Chains A and B, each alone.
Chain A
Amino acid sequence: MEGIVLALLGVALAVGLSGIGSAIGVGLVGESAAGLVTEDPDKFGQTLLLQALPMTQGIYGLLTGLVIMINLGIFTGEVASLTVTEGLSMLMASLPVALVGFLSAIAQGRAAAAGIGLIAKRPEEMGKAITFAVMVETFAVFSVLVSLLLLLFM
């Protein structure tokens, strides 16, 4: 039964680390956005869109955590018994999204916060502000993809 503890550690890392990253990222953008909205309350909608961008890493982490939980059978009430190796593999599978999600959300938050500055001066260039932030997310997408593929094929 020790295997399940390792798998649960995987859930905790995937959801926890990427969640922390997203929280920091979304917070960073929120700080900048609040400054802009003081000057121009009508930009709330636009800034909210940018603020939502670093949120996805947290969702990817949640997604990975949920897939592990489904694999473990937690929702059906019949928790599978795992060997240490099986548990360890699930833990390993959770690491890409945990690590990349954590750091890329912060980096994306920075890029999006700078984007807030961009739309403060040139609101018509919002597409570019979003694109800069989305470039960062590419790597979070790759990491969640690898995590999911590892989980689905084990």
Chain B
Amino acid sequence: MPLVEIKKLYLLAHNEEREAILELLQRLGSVELVDLQESPEWAEIRVLLEPGQAGGAVSRLEANLGEVRYCLDFLQRYFPIRKNFIQQFTGSRLELTAQEYSDYIASAREIDAVYGACRKAEEDLTRIRNEETRYRSLLAELKPWIGFSLPLEEVIKSNCVSMDLVTIPLESYPALIESLKADAPDFYLEEFSTDKDLAYCLLIYMTDDSAVVSSLFKNAAANPVDFSHLTGTAADATLSVEQRLSALEQERSAVLAKVEALLEQRPLLMACFDYLDNERAKLEAFSNLACTQSSFLLKGWVPLPDLDELEKELRAQAETAVLVIRDPDENEAVPVLMANRGPVAAYEVVTRLYSVPRRDELDPTPFMAPFFFVFFGICMADVGYGIILSLLAFFISRKLKLAGMGKQLVDLLFWGGIASVVFGIVFGGYLGDFFGLAPLWFNPLEDPITMLIFCFSAGLFHIYFGMGIQAYRSIKAGKLLDALLDQGLWLVFLSSLILIALPQFSTPAKWVVIACAVLLVLTQGRKQKGLLKKFFSGLGSLYNITGYLSDVLSYSRLLALSLSTAVIATVINVMGKLMAGSLLGYLFMAIILTGGHFFNMLIGVLGAYVHTSRLQYIEFFGKFFEGGGRPFRPFRLTHKYIDVLKWNRGQ
């Protein structure tokens, strides 16, 4: 399948029409913009140009966008929109009609109020959290002193007598008492509580001894505690702190209620975010242009099929605009766009996950798609699983409006389900052996060797096909010799190697193999310089045979995966049937069968997808496809939060 032809586009128009034209291009989404400042033309045209573009408007938009993003993030933090498992791959967006969307944009002024409210709410929540932390730690500090019945404000230091609430480490406790008795004998010590490290005590001593006592405290690592800011007993203080905490909790839920009331503004925020983001993209696109005082030049890429519509719309929008289209040069970095139709389009995701083709390559998708279908089917090979998978994929694609790679992936699984049904019939897999139906061809469990040979043959065909495509490419590029020697000779060589195994062909095949080997040694080094180098390079090329061998062996994974699906399904059936008998038994049987088969299907799909992809990437693409193209990225409207419906609700 050839790639979509992409043309180079120059657009020259008046500055007055600049914004309208860019808006049109953004809406159509069919042009990839090229930054003129990084183009070779820049050196020639820069002398004509007006320096300096409207940076102010962009930064103003950025600021607005920042506010909206802040509000959305803030709401998301407290009232998150959860995405389900599938939406994590596909994204989830709010659906709006065009009318609703423009209504929201019109009322964008309300965002300032929402932003203010969010800011205020966040400040309040932070303050409440800080106060709570403070009160909680105070509560913890007060706890050991609950038994102390004197009001805390009466723990004072007078001229004669001083009182201290003090925590003393248990290990230095006896020593401290001894030293107090020796150095400040007039004291009174009462212990209120202890925990595993500390004793919590009241110490009354003569104020004259203050210096001695505080140095003793220091030696014993004892700490006086200061509660002079509290009133009442420790128990009273605890009670009032707890009341404060519950007041804070109420305050918090009041703030959160206000935030929750802001949730109804979320669609507005989402719509405005997408609108502003697209406006910003439009303004930023200005920097790609080259502007004089009254005109501007735009450079870009446009796919040929979209060109007519672009020209028509542009005529309607701006009469004076000049559109110049030309074919791309040989050495220009042209972006690449694949265009596959029908079921094959779903398989584009497989190619894209590997690489986009280069501009001079073929799109491998249509060649790869039938093999992907067949191999996926062989790996699963179960009618039951296929039906479930197809139905699941069908409902997912109906329920979630997917686009791009997400849609392709779901479609791919849908076709995978169909393939699984087909090969389930061929190999007799109906939820394993649950129904005991006979296979159309044979059962791989009973005859694995036939299956292995079948897999190797399919693989060999796959590899030959890949080599054939490479030969076709070489011939098309006028390199007939390359096609004959690099692919043709190998095809004959490999085929006759296989024929040696068959007795009736073994003698002639042997001679063909020897002849091919000699020819390969003589020709494979033809691109090297020097006779010796040519010879050794040719000799070394025979080593490639191990590469082809390992490629073919790699297809044994098809057998392994299909056996694995079938055996696990069989075991689930056996375990389920063991339960049968009583009513409770049938219940257990139903649970085991449903859960087990669903699990087996998921594992099967994962294995089938992953291994089939690998066979395409390594064994098939390796023969003819390089990739490394730059995907076409048009300048278009992007939506992060909303989808604008093309029709009205209820229609």
Interface residues of A (CB under 8 A from B): 42-46, 49, 52-53, 55-56, 59-60, 62-63, 66-67, 70, 75, 126-128, 130-131, 134-135, 137-138, 141-142, 144-145, 148-149, 152
Contact = CB atoms under 8 A, between A and B. Distances in A.
B614 A135 contact: yes
Contact of B610 (A66, A130, A145): A130
Contacts of A138: 554, 557, 614
Interface in B550-567: 553-554, 556-557, 559-561, 563-564, 567
B538 interface: no
A141 B560 contact: yes
Contacts of A141: 556-557, 560-561, 611
Contact of A42 (B88, B353, B557, B614): B88
A144 B88 contact: no
Contact of B353 (A44, A66, A127): A127
Contacts of A52: 606
Contacts of A149: 448, 452
B603 interface: yes
Contacts of A152: 445, 448
Contacts of B557: 138, 141, 145
Contacts of B556: 141-142, 145
Contacts of B613: 127, 130-131, 134
A45 B88 contact: yes
B64 to A, nearest CB: 25
Nearest to A65: B571
Interface in B41-94: 83, 85-86, 88-89
A148 B560 contact: yes
Given A59-B564, A70-B574, A142-B556, 7 more contacts: A44-B88, A46-B89, A49-B606, A63-B563, A126-B353, A137-B611, A144-B560
A135 to B, nearest CB: 7
A44 B82 CA distance: 12
Interface in B579-631: 603, 606-607, 610-611, 613-614, 617-618
Give the secondary structure class of B's interface: helix
A136 to B, nearest CB: 11
A141 to B, nearest CB: 4
B254 interface: no
Interface residues of B, number: 37
B497 interface: no
27 contacts: A42-B83, A45-B85, A45-B88, A45-B89, A59-B564, A62-B568, A63-B563, A63-B564, A63-B567, A66-B571, A67-B567, A75-B571, A75-B578, A127-B350, A127-B613, A130-B610, A131-B614, A131-B617, A131-B618, A134-B613, A135-B614, A138-B614, A141-B557, A145-B559, A149-B448, A149-B452, A152-B445
Nearest to B566: A63
Among B556, B560, B570, B606: residue with most chain A CB under 10 A: B560
A127 B349 CA distance: 9
B391 to A, nearest CB: 21
B354 interface: yes
Interface in B172-229: none
B66 to A, nearest CB: 20
Contacts of A55: 603
A144 B353 contact: no
Nearest to A127: B353
Nearest to A75: B574
Contacts of B570: 70
A137 to B, nearest CB: 8
A53 B610 contact: yes
A46 B571 CA distance: 30
A154 to B, nearest CB: 13
B107 to A, nearest CB: 29
A60 B567 CA distance: 10
Contacts of A45: 85-86, 88-89
A66 B567 CA distance: 8
B564 A144 contact: yes
B88 A134 contact: no
A63 B568 contact: yes
Contact of A127 (B354, B445, B568): B354
Given A46-B88, A49-B606, A145-B559, A60 B353 contact: no
A56 B607 contact: yes
A97 to B, nearest CB: 10
B614 to A, nearest CB: 5
Contacts of B350: 127
Given A49-B606, A128-B354, A138-B554, A148 B563 contact: yes
Among A55, A59, A127, A149: residue with most chain B CB under 10 A: A127
B354 A148 contact: no
Q: 6 tightest CB-CB pairs across the interface, nearest first?
A: A127-B353, A45-B88, A141-B557, A145-B560, A134-B614, A75-B574
A60 B559 CA distance: 13
B157 to A, nearest CB: 52
A67 B610 CA distance: 24
A135 B619 CA distance: 12
A9 B259 CA distance: 62
A45 to B, nearest CB: 4
A55 B570 CA distance: 20
A127 B353 CA distance: 5
A131 B574 CA distance: 35
A23 to B, nearest CB: 16
Contacts of B617: 127, 131
Nearest to A126: B353
A78 B109 CA distance: 80
Contacts of B618: 131, 135
A118 to B, nearest CB: 13
Among B88, B561, B568, B570: residue with most chain A CB under 10 A: B88
Interface in B490-510: none
A75 to B, nearest CB: 5
Given A52-B606, A56-B607, A59-B603, A128 B353 contact: yes
